[in-house]
Structure 1
Amino acid sequence: MIRRLAAVLSLALSLGACGEQAKKAPEPPPAPPPAVSTTTTVEYKATASPTLEAVKKRGYLRCGVHPGLPGFAYPDVKGVWQGFDVDVCRAVAAAVLGDADKVRFTVIDNKNRFGPLKSGAIDILSRNTSWTLARDAGLGLDFAAITYFDGQGFMAPRSLNLTSADELNGARICVQTGTASETNLADYFAARGLTYTPVPAASEEEARNAYQDEKCDVFSADVSALAASRTVLNNPGAHVILPTVISKEPLGPVVREDDPAWTDIVRWTVYALILAEELGVNSKTVESSLQTVSDPRTRRLLGLEDDYGALLGLKKDWAFQAIKQVGSYDEIFRRNIGADSGLKLERGLNALWSAPKPGLIYAPPIR
């Protein structure tokens, strides 16, 4: 009996010792979590553009322009089209075809401004056209970019000594029919409880002539158009553009909505011209920059690093060709409507965002 009790006690002590050892044994290390990749691979590829293919096959770009607006679109004495809007089309031709001269210009009147574009008769409309919701969403069109920030104003004889449009109560005002200017004018006067007598005109030329013949007291249109009109009046110095601006008129090239890849081509051609100014590259320096530039942003713009042209279905030097053959944004502005032109328009809102007096001109990066 004593032996059996001793055996039981010995077994109990042995099991207790094993339990203590079990309590002190270290826990096994947890299994490592599954590996998670910290890099994301995005595959970029070009989208085919039917318009681009048609332009290449045809061998030239078809561009719709104003019948004749000094500084923006007009044929010179040799019949060669010149102007700010004209140069936008020439830059697209340089980017797409490698030759800025491969453009055929079609005069587009105001009454049927969008018809030739919608029907496919032209590839791009570059005709001082304001970007509005109704036009963008309601006509099957896309505004590729804003090339000029404008607004509607008033031109009046200097002899009237006017300082504001609010002094025009009861005035006769020449305005082009079927335009945003006509609606803006009505809205502005109605909001202020003022009256006026519209003198309608079928074209800017007709409105200008009516104003010069004193059939109206003032002429209302976009400020840039007024500045252009003033240069061809009999006595430009006898007329002033009032400081009052009654609307926002963001102007830019228009394309069809059914070809977004073509929209990208036109958009990024405009942005390339803006980036050229921002990066200090112009038509005179761009070629030498190919050998000397080290700034990665400029190298990407000129096609020296990576191939962003391929994403647009274009050659690697697409932006280089546009800049070399047509110029940077500041060159195009200066010679057509700025300091070196008859219009002498200041940059104002159309200065770069980074200028000493900042404007609204801003391009997304190429990267």
Structure 2
Amino acid sequence: MRLAKFGVVLGGLILGAGLALPAFAQPAADTLAAIRSRGQLVCSHAPSTVGFSLPDSQGVWRGIDVDYCRAIAAAVLGDATKFRIVPSSTQQRFTMLQSGEIDVLIRSTTWTLAREVSLGLAFAGVNVYDGQGFMVHRDSGVTSARQLDGATVCVQPGTTTELNMADFFRTNRLRYTPVVIENIEEIRNAFITRRCDAYTNDASSLASFAAGQGANASRYLLLPEIISKEPLGPVVRKGDWRFFDIVRWVHFAMVTAEELGITSTNIETFTNSPNPDVQRFLGRTGDLGRMMGLENDWAVRVVRAVGNFSEVWERNMTPIGFPRGVNNLWTNGGLQYAPPMR
């Protein structure tokens, strides 16, 4: 580091005189070492969202976000059961990650410029390409979001959902009254009991809500308008780029496995495959795992634990009626695309 005439030069970045680096730019803790020392990965998920994260009747957490936690534990610790879940609210989630209370946030969280730039956090990938929608009571007769003039709308505070809703109604010159409720169960109950005319959230979350109503699911209608882009995925602290790489490539490993036709049930049959990409994926050639501080068969551990991306989707998202759509592989008209593992 050297002093410059008008500021400080640090790593090629000139800071204005009198300006300090934000706290999140300080050297990051070694998350991988901390996980191995405690023998457990700590993840945070939403407390009750079918398809994403919800304890079953036996108290076992299920959902696509939970599977990502299991996959990371398998890659890092060699055991997909060595993780602990700390549920978080929309208001608490970022603070919990910033403080080090959790290692990774995988909680239906939208990747935005402001969140990545201002919070000291980095999004490691997109496990669900989503978009915000509106749900109404089917007997209301409403079939389009543009018919919601004067409606009351249930929404969670401190979310991109709240901002997108305001933009939508302003753009379309529609009046509305937000019914702002923090707790997800309370907001759903408010909609069920008609304290609000409509409920807005990510389309996947609305599908999850309806699926959770069982025989009453047909009472609710998801309107056709999608008013935003909501790329959802795991979040880690900036600065600890080795752990960032691990979380990002765990996702890419699931996508790559689907591209290669490797599943949790057939992976053993690929051992003698002549395909160089398969041999690198299995860790039988190259040193890709050790580049990240992992064993070279880390991707095999991921697939054995949770399957490829298609298996994870079919297990969690298909049952709630959320179509794969843009979450298909790029070879099938979707956006899921993994860089080469070489």
Q: Which amino acid aligns with 2:274?
A: S
Match of 1:363 in 2: 338
CA displacement 1:21-64 (0-9 Å, x = unmatched): xxxxxxxxxxxxxxxxxxxxxxxxxxx98111111111110111
C-alpha displacement of 1:149:
0.4
One-letter amino acid of the structure 2 residue matched with residue 366 of structure 1: M
Residue 6 of structure 2 corresponds to none
RMSD: 1.3
Q: Offset at 1:304? A: 1.7
Counterpart code for 1:276: A
Q: Distance in 1 between matches of 2:268 and 2:34?
A: 30
Deviations along 1:180-210, one digit per CA (max 9) or x if unpaired, are: 1111100111011111111111122211101
Gaps of 5+ in 2: 1-27
Q: Distance in 1 between matches of 2:87 and 2:198?
A: 27
State yes or no: 1:275 paired with 2:250: no
Partner of 2:296: 316
Q: Distance in 2 between matches of 1:101 and 1:242?
A: 39
Equivalent in 293, 313, 328 of residue 351 of structure 1 = 328
User: Are 1:153 and 2:133 an aligned pair?
Assistant: yes
What is the one-letter code of the residue matched to 1:225? Answer: S
Q: Is the 8 A contact 1:272 1:319 kept in 2?
A: yes
Shift of 1:129: 0.3
| Contact 1:144–1:255 under 8 Å retained in 2 | yes
CA deviation map 1:329-364 (0-9, x unaligned):
0000101111xx2x0211111111101xx1111111
Q: Tell me what 1:247 maps to.
A: 228
Mapped partners of 1:194, 1:77: distance in 2: 43
1:107 equivalent to 2:82? Answer no
Give 1:305 deviation, angstroms: 1.5
Change in Cα spacing, 1:49 to 1:140, as seen in structure 2 (3 Å) is: closer
Cross-structure match for 1:52: 32
The letter for the 1-side match of 2:228 is S
Identity across matched positions, percent: 47
Distance 1:243 1:312 in 2: 43
Hey, what's the Cα distance between the residues in 1 that align with 2:269 and 2:90? 43
Which segment is superposed worse, 156-165 or 94-103? 156-165
Q: After TM superposition, give the deviation of residue 81 of structure 1 in Å.
A: 1.0
TM-score, normalisation: structure 1: 0.84
Q: 2:310 corresponds to which residue?
A: 330
Q: For residues 35-184 of structure 1, what are the structure 2 equivalents within 5 Å?
A: 50-184=30-164
Cα 1:118/1:128, change in 2 over 3 Å: same
* Structure 2 Cα separation of the partners of residues 302 and 141 of structure 1: 31
Q: 1-side partners of 2:134 and 2:184: how far apart? A: 13
Larger radius of gyration: 1
In the alignment, the residues of structure 1 paired with residue 249 and residue 219 of structure 2 have an alpha-carbon distance, to the nearest angstrom, of 41
- CA distance, structure 2, for counterparts of residue 312 and residue 161 of structure 1: 55
- String of CA shifts for 1:132-152, please: whole Å, max 9, x gaps: 011100000010111110110
Q: Does 1:222 align with 2:206?
A: no
- Cα pair 1:125 1:253 within 8 Å, conserved: yes
Give the alignment of 1:6-45 within 5 angstroms: none
Instruction: Report the counterpart of residue 277 of structure 2 in structure 1.
Output: 297
Q: Which residue of 2 aligns with 1:259?
A: 240
Aligned counterpart for 1:206 among listed residues 167, 176, 186: 186
Give 3-state SS (helix, strand or coil) of 2:339's partner. coil
1:188 paired with 2:168, answer yes
Deviations 1:251-307 (A, max 9, x none): 0000000201110010001100011011110100112212x3221112111112211
Within 2, Cα distance between the matches of 1:202 and 1:58?
32
Q: Which moved more, 1:259-268 or 1:202-211?
A: 202-211
Q: Is the 8 A contact 1:177 1:203 kept in 2?
A: no
For residue 162 of structure 1, report the CA deviation from its aligned partner. 2.7
The runs of 5 or more residues in structure 1 that have no matched partner are 1-47
Letter in 2 for 1:310: R
Distance (Å, rounded) in 2 between the aligned partners of 1:199 and 1:231: 23
CA contact (8 A) 2:121 2:238 kept: yes
Q: Secondary structure at the match of 2:93?
A: coil
Of the three residues 230, 233, 237, the one matched with 2:218 is 237
The answer to whether the Cα contact below 8 Å between 2:211 and 2:321 also exists between their aligned partners in 1 is no
Q: Return the letter of the residue paired with 2:247.
A: V
What letter is aligned with 1:364?
A: P
Equivalent in the alignment of 1:20: none
The amino acid across from 1:241 in the alignment is: L
Indicate if the aligned counterparts of 1:287 and 1:324 stay in contact, CA closer than 8 A. Answer: no
2: CA distance between counterparts of 1:283 and 1:179? 36
Which secondary structure state, in structure 1, belongs to the residue aligned with residue 331 of structure 2?
coil
